[in-house]
């Protein structure tokens, strides 16, 4: 993965109050040493309510830990009760925002059109979308996982230019690309059933090939593609061995500071 800095992002989902969030980030900052944080990019994705606290801690202590949100509105402002805009996240100096997580797709009815609109909204506000794609068990059993994921990728990136895909993002200045892709097989999320390194590489490689077809090889080589789904310290090295797997989106294991730090260390 020449030139692509590994990225480990912790998706906390709907866990941790802002006070608990501070405790976890402090623990990570204490556990991870400077060379590790240089070798791998470490990012936390807390709930909206903890973002301000994380921002204050990260900027106040000059921590080399990135942060972002788990979702954003496709709209920029207006009568959208309960929604949070890209501008609001940008004003909290978020670097990243997850878009199209399978839980949003399944529980909130977000289809490819919504996901594409959210990717565009993120880019409009200088945020780096972490675009999630992935197949359910039925699709995997039918052997249709690669076309399923490339179709989700195509739909979400509709209308984007190569520059938007690979341009350096805002925020910490340590990011490597305008869009990050995460391959997250739905059957592996929160189930303890991790994809094999070969499964992860197969789809991540196919996604990069698709990016190359659409945006050119040079752009495709700059985009980081993560694997997500039951990643733990013990399986990280195997998963990251794939040449097209540039890091991990970590759910459950990111809530345990020691475990998450160990995953980051393995990636560094
Ligand atoms: C996720 O929610 O993005 C995820 C990968 O979860 P877990 O690691 O718990 O499977």
Ligand 1 atom index nearest CA of 254 = 8
Alpha helix (H) residue ranges in 92-216: 102-107, 112-124, 137-141, 145-156, 162-166, 197-215
Which residue's C-alpha comes closest to atom 6 of ligand 1? Answer: 251
State yes or no: is 101 an active-site residue. yes
pLDDT value, residue 233: 97
Which residue's C-alpha comes closest to atom 1 of ligand 1? Answer: 251
State yes or no: is 184 an active-site residue. yes
What does the alpha-carbon distance between residue 78 and residue 100 come to, in Å, rounded to a whole number?
A: 22
Cβ pair 133, 149 in contact under 8 A: yes
Q: How far is the CA of 171 from the centre of ligand 1 (A)?
A: 24
Cβ pair 171, 93 in contact under 8 A: yes
Q: How far is the CA of 214 from the centre of ligand 1 (A)?
A: 28
What are the φ and ψ backbone dihedral angles of 132, each rounded to 5 degrees? -95, 135
Ligand 1 atom index nearest CA of 189 = 10
What does the alpha-carbon distance between residue 202 and residue 184 come to, in Å, rounded to a whole number?
A: 13
Q: Name the token pair of 166.
A: 């690979």
Model ipTM? 0.98
What is the mean pLDDT of the segment spanning 23-47?
96
CA angle, residues 28, 104, 10, in degrees to nearest 5: 10
Which residues in 178-198 are b (16+ Cβ under 10 Å) and which e?
Answer: bbbbbbbbbbbbeeeebbebe
Express as a percent the part of the chain with pLDDT over 70. Answer: 95
Does the pLDDT at position 174 exceed 50?
A: no
Lowest average pLDDT, out of 128-132, 177-181, 185-189, goes to 177-181
Which residue's C-alpha comes closest to atom 2 of ligand 1? Answer: 251
What is the mean pLDDT of the segment spanning 191-197?
91
pLDDT value, residue 177: 52
What are the φ and ψ backbone dihedral angles of 228, each rounded to 5 degrees? -140, 140
Average model confidence (pLDDT) across the chain:
94
Dihedral angle, C-alpha 153, 156, 158, 159, nearest 10 °: -130
238-247, pLDDT tens digit by residue?
Answer: 999 999 999 9
pTM tops 0.90, yes or no: yes
Q: What is the DSSP letter of 178?
A: S
Q: How far is the CA of 79 from the centre of ligand 1 (A)?
A: 32
Which residue's C-alpha comes closest to atom 3 of ligand 1? Answer: 251
**Long-range contact pairs involving 143-146 (C-beta distance under 8 Å, separation at least 24):** 145/185, 145/203, 146/202, 146/203, 146/206
Which residue's C-alpha comes closest to atom 8 of ligand 1? Answer: 251
Does the pLDDT at position 157 exceed 70?
A: yes
pLDDT value, residue 170: 36
pLDDT value, residue 169: 46
Which of 41, 135, 184, 259 is catalytic? The answer is 184
Does the pLDDT at position 68 exceed 70?
A: yes
Cβ pair 126, 175 in contact under 8 A: no
Pocket around ligand 1 at a 6 A CB cut-off: 11, 184, 189-190, 228-231, 249-253
Which of 101, 125, 145, 148 is catalytic? The answer is 101
Q: Are strands 128-133 and 96-99 parallel, antiparallel or unpaired?
A: parallel
Give the CATH number of domain 77-215.
Answer: 3.20.20.70
What are the φ and ψ backbone dihedral angles of 194, each rounded to 5 degrees? -85, 145
Strand partners of residue 41? 7
Q: How far is the CA of 31 from the centre of ligand 1 (A)?
A: 22
Binding site residues for substrate, as ranges? Answer: 11-13, 190, 230, 251-252
Domain boundaries, the chain: 1-70, 77-215
Torsion over CA: 152, 156, 162, 167 (sign)? negative
CA angle, residues 217, 221, 227, in degrees to nearest 5: 125
Does the pLDDT at position 105 exceed 90?
A: yes
Q: How far is the CA of 97 from the centre of ligand 1 (A)?
A: 15
Ligand 1 atom index nearest CA of 184 = 5
Express as a percent the part of the chain with pLDDT over 90. Answer: 90
């Amino acid at each position: 993965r020449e030139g692509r800095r590994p990225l480990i992002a912790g998706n906390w989902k709907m866990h941790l109050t802002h006070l608990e969030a501070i405790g976890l980030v402090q623990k990570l900052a204490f556990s991870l040493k400077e060379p590790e944080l240089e070798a791998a990019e470490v990012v936390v994705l807390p709930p909206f309510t903890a973002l301000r606290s994380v921002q204050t801690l990260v900027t106040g202590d000059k921590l080399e830990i990135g942060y972002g949100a788990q979702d954003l509105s496709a709209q920029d402002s207006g009568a959208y009760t309960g929604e949070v805009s890209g501008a609001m996240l940008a004003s909290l100096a978020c670097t990243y925002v997850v878009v199209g997580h399978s839980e949003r797709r399944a529980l909130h009815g977000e289809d490819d059109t919504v996901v594409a609109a959210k990717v565009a909204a993120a880019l409009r506000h200088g945020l780096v979308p972490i675009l999630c794609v992935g197949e359910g068990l039925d699709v995997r059993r039918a052997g249709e996982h690669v076309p399923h994921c490339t179709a989700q990728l195509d739909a979400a990136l509709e209308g984007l230019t190569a520059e938007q895909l690979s341009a350096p993002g805002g925020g910490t200045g340590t990011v490597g690309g305008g869009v990050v892709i995460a391959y997250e097989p739905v059957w592996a999320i929160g189930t303890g059933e991790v994809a094999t390194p070969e499964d992860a590489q197969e789809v991540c490689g196919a996604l990069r090939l698709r990016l190359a077809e659409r945006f050119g090889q040079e752009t495709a080589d700059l985009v980081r593609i993560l694997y997500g789904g039951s990643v733990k310290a013990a399986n990280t090295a195997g998963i990251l061995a794939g040449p097209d797997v540039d890091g991990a989106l970590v759910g459950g294991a990111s809530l345990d500071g020691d475990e998450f730090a160990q995953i980051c260390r393995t990636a560094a």
